Structure 1
Amino acid sequence: MLQDSSQKPSLISQTQDLAEKTQRWLRMGIDIPLVMAIITLVLFGLLMVYSASWKFSIQLGQPAAYMFIRQIVWVILGTFLAVLLSRIDYHRYGKLMLPALIITYGMLITVLILRDTRLGADRTILFGSVQPSELAKVVTILYLSFWLNNHKPVLNNFSLGVFPMLILIGLNAGLVLLQPDISAAATIIVLGGILFYLAGGDMKKIVFVIIGVAFFGAIVVLVSTTGRTRMMDYLNGLQNPVQASYHVQRSLEAVVKGGLFGVGIGRATTKFTGLPVAPTDSIFAVIIEETGLLGALLVVGLFILILWRGLYIANRAPDPLGRLLAAGLTIWIFMEAVINMGVMVNLLPFAGNALPLISAGGSSLTTTLMSFGIILNVARTNTGVIPERRPASAVVNLRGWDRRGSVSRSGRFTNPGK
C-alpha cells in the first residue's frame, strides 16, 4: 500500500506534465495529430526506401545505400524548409508568387530544351535530381489561392475571372503535358477546378469547365500514344489482370505475395524480379508485399488522418486565403496518395504520381514537406482567433461566400481582442 501511494503522485505528475506540454503545443498552433502522421510516414518511408532501393542504386552504378542516403538529405532539407515556411506569416507569401511562377515556367521550359529523357519522358533537370512538374503543382495551388482571393468580386465574371484563371491553369498544365506528363497535367487541372469551387465559383461555370476539361482530356488520351496505351491497358486489366500493363502485373503479384501480414521488411522478391522503379512509383507495392494488407491499411489510414486534419485546419483558418491554401495543399497531397495507391492495385489507369512522404525522390518529398509547413502556418495563425460555434459537419464546410463579400458565412471569426 505504501508503495502504491508513493507511486501515485508520480503518475499524476507525469500526466499533468504531458497535459501541460500538449496545451503548450496547441497554443503554439502545432496540430499534434497531423505532425505525428507526417513523422510516421517520413520514418516509414525511409525504412521502405532502404528496403526497396539498394538494387536500384547498384543499377545506377552507385553504392547500395546511395538512394537511401539521398533520401535522408532530402528529408533534412524538406524539414528545414517546412519549419521556415511554418514561421513566416502566409500573407507575406503574396509578394513571392509572381517570381515563383516565372521561375517555375523557366524550369518547365528548360526541361523541354534539355530533353533529358528518362523512362520515356523529359521531366527532369540537373541530371535527374529535380522534377519541375512537382514544383508546378504546388506553385499552381499557391498562386491560384492568392489570385482567387484577390479577385473575389469578379470571380464569376467570365472575361475578368474565369477566362484568366483558365489561361493560367492551361499554361501550367500545357507545359507539363509537353514533357509528356499526362497525370501531372491532369492533377493541375483538377486542382484548379477544386480551388475555383472552394473560392465560391458559380456551379454552372464549374460544370462547364468540367465538361470542357473532360472533352480536352479525352482528346489528349486519344492523340497521345502514351495516354491511349495506358487507358487500354487499364481497361483490359479490369477485365483480366493478366492483360494489364507489365508494371501493374508485377505490382499485383506483390500484393498477392504480401497477403494479410506480409513477408517481412526487406524480404520482398518482386523488387528483384521485375517490379519497375521499386523505390519510387512502385513503393506501395513493396509496402504491401513486405507488410501485408495490414501495413497498407495503416498507410491509407495515416493519409486519411492527414486529410481530416488538413481540412480541419482549413475550416478554422482566420480568413479565406488561409482556407484556400490549407484546403488546396491538403487535397493535393491526398490526391497524390490516392492516385499512386490506386494505380498499384489497378483501380486507376497508370500514372507516374509519387507516394507523398514515402517514395524516393527529392522533388516530391521536398515540395510535400514545404506544403505541410504552409498548412501548419495556417494552423499557427489560428491561435488567438476563436471561431464561431459550428456543427460537426463544418470540417468540410469550406465554401459559400456571404453577400457582403470576402468571407463566407461558415468562415467568419470573432477575435476576442476586439
Structure 2
Amino acid sequence: MGESTFVNQSNLRGASSQLRNVRQGIDFVLLGVAVALTLFGLLMVYSAGPKFAVFAEKPPDYFLIRQLLWAGVGMVAVGITAFFDYHFYRKLSVWMMLATIGSLFVVMLLGESTLGSTRSILGSSVRPSELAKLVTIIYVSVWLNSKREVLNSISLGLLPLGLILGITAILILAQPDLSAAITIMIIGGLLFFLAGGAWRQIVLVVAVAVLVGWLVINIYPTGRTRVTDYMAGLQNPLNASYHVRRSLEAIINGGVFGVGIGHSSTKFTGLPVAHTDSIFAIVTEETGLLGSGLLLIAYLVILWRGLSIARKAPDLLGQLLAAGISIWITLEAFINMAVMVNLLPHAGNALPFISYGGSSLVVTLAGVGILLNIGRLSEKSNTQGGNTFASVVDLRWRNGWRRVSRPGRSPRS
C-alpha cells in the first residue's frame, strides 16, 4: 500500500511538472487580452448583426453563430501555433507564400463578389488577403533573417524583397482591396527597417511607395473618391463621406458612458456595414468613450507585450516575427478606428478580434499564437523588466550600431 502511495505521488509530481513545462513562458497577459477581445467581439457582433442578417434573409443570430464557429477555429489555431516551434517556418515559409499567392490567383478566377469587390472564396467563408498579411510577415521575416549579410545590396536585398511584396500587393489590388495591399507594403518596409536596412534604401523605398500610392489613388476611382471625401471632411465634418458622417453620429450619441449594449440606433438607420468595418462606431455608441478608451488600451497592451516578446527573443527571426505581428495587429486596429473619425481616408479594413469575419479572426488569433510561441522559447534569463517600447529601436541598433553591415565593410563592435 505504501508502494502504491509512492507511485501515485510520483505520478502527481510528474503530471505537475509537465503542466509547469506547458505553462512556462506563456504570456498570460497577452493571451488574456486576446481572449477578452474575442469574447467582446462576439458580443458586439451579436448586437450589430441581426439587421444585416435579416437583409440577407438569414436568422437574426446568423452572424453570431458563424463568428462563434470561427472563434473556435481561431482558438485551435492559437493552440497549434503557440506550441509549434517558430524556427520551422524557415522550411515552410516559401511553401506558405506560394500557397497564398496561389489562393489570390484563385480569387481572381473563381472569387465571389461582395459590395463591388471580389475577395472571397468557398462561399465567402475564406478571404485570402487576410491570410496574406500574416504569411507575408512570416516569409519576409525568414527572408530577412537569411539575407542579413547581403541585405544592404540593392540587387540581392531590396529588389527581391520588393518583387515578392509587389506581386502580393498587385494581386490584392486587383480584387480590389486597397487597405490590405497598403498594410502588406507598410509591414514589409517596416521589417526591412528593423532588420537593419540602410537609410538610403529606406528613403528610396519611401519615395517609391509615395509614387506608387499617388498612382494608385489616381488610377482607381475608389481611391480618388476616398481621398476627396477625406479632405472635405477635414475642412468640415458635415462634408465628409456618408459613412464617416454616420459613424460620427454614432460616436456622438454614445457620449461618455454609452447608450448600453444592444441599444445603438445608428445600426438600424443606415450606418454601413455596422457588424464589420464600422463596428468601432457601434462599440463607441453603446459603451461610450469609456468603452472605446478601454478598447484602445487593450490594443496598446498587445503592442506592449508583443514588443516585450520581441526584445527577449533569442534570435533575429524571433525578434522580427514578434515585432511584425504585434505592430500589424495594432496598426490594423488604429487604422480602423482612425477611419471612423475621419483621421485617415477610408481604408475598409477590419477591427482585429472585433469585426465580423472568420478569416480576419482566425489569422489574427494564429498570429497571437506565434507571439506566445516566441515568448515560450525565449531565453529564461531575459525575464527582467525594462523599457519594452524601446525594443523596436533595439532591433535595429543593438549596442548603438546597425545590425547589418554594408557590403565591403566590417561591422563595428
**TM value normalised by structure 2:** 0.89
- Structure 2 counterpart of 1:350, from 346, 349, 352: 346
Gaps of 5+ in 2: 1-15, 406-413
Following TM superposition, by how much is the alpha carbon of 1:112 offset from its aligned partner in structure 2, in angstroms?
1.1
How far is 1:384 from its partner? 3.1
State the partner residue of 1:146. 142
1:65-214 to structure 2, matched below 5 A, reads: 65-214=61-210
Residue 343 (structure 2) pairs with residue 335 (structure 1): no
Change in 2 beyond 3 A, CA 1:264/1:163: same
Deviation at 1:32, TM superposition (A): 2.0
Distance 1:404 1:308, change over 3 A: closer
In structure 2, the residue corresponding to 1:123 is in which secondary structure? Answer: strand
**Which aligned pairs between 1:7-406 and structure 2 lie closer than 5 A?**
28-386=24-382, 394-396=390-392, 397-400=394-397
CA distance change for structure 1 residues 36 and 405 in 2, over 3 Å: closer, same or farther? closer
TM-score by length of 1: 0.88
* Cα deviation code 1:47-70 (max 9, x no counterpart): 111000011111111111111011
Q: Secondary structure at the match of 1:117?
A: strand
* Structure 2 match to 1:416: none
Quick one: distance in 1 between partners of 2:160 and 2:364? 27
Cα displacement (A) at 1:120: 1.3
Instruction: Measure, in 2, the Cα distance between the counterparts of 1:30 and 1:341.
Output: 29
Asked whether the 8 Å contact 2:86–2:370 carries over to 1, the reply is: yes
Letter in 1 for 2:66: R
Q: After the TM superposition, which of the residue ranges 203-212 and 395-404 deviates more from structure 2?
A: 395-404
What is the alpha-carbon distance in structure 1 between the residues aligned to residue 30 and residue 385 of structure 2? Answer: 22
Find the aligned partners of 2:158 and 2:131 in 1 and give their Cα distance: 24
Distance of aligned partners of 1:79 and 1:383 in 2 relative to their CA distance in 1, 3 Å threshold: farther
Quote how far apart the aligned CAs of 1:366 are: 0.4
Amino acid at match of 1:399: R
One-letter amino acid of the structure 2 residue matched with residue 70 of structure 1: R
SS of aligned partner of 1:194: helix
CA distance in 1, matches of 2:30, 2:286: 26
Alignment CA distance shift 1:373-1:205 (3 Å)? same
2: distance between equivalents of 1:405 and 1:286? 44
Could you tell me how far 1:386 is from its partner in structure 2? 3.7
What is the percent sequence identity of the aligned residues? Answer: 52
Give the number of aligned pairs. 387
Unaligned runs of 5+ in 1: 1-19, 408-418
Q: 1: CA distance between counterparts of 2:302 and 2:349?
A: 18
Asked if 2 retains the 8 angstrom alpha-carbon contact of 1:339 and 1:348, the reply is yes
Say if 1:29 and 1:383, in contact at 8 Å, map to a contact too. Answer: no
| Whole-angstrom distance in 2 between the partners of 1:361 and 1:142 | 22
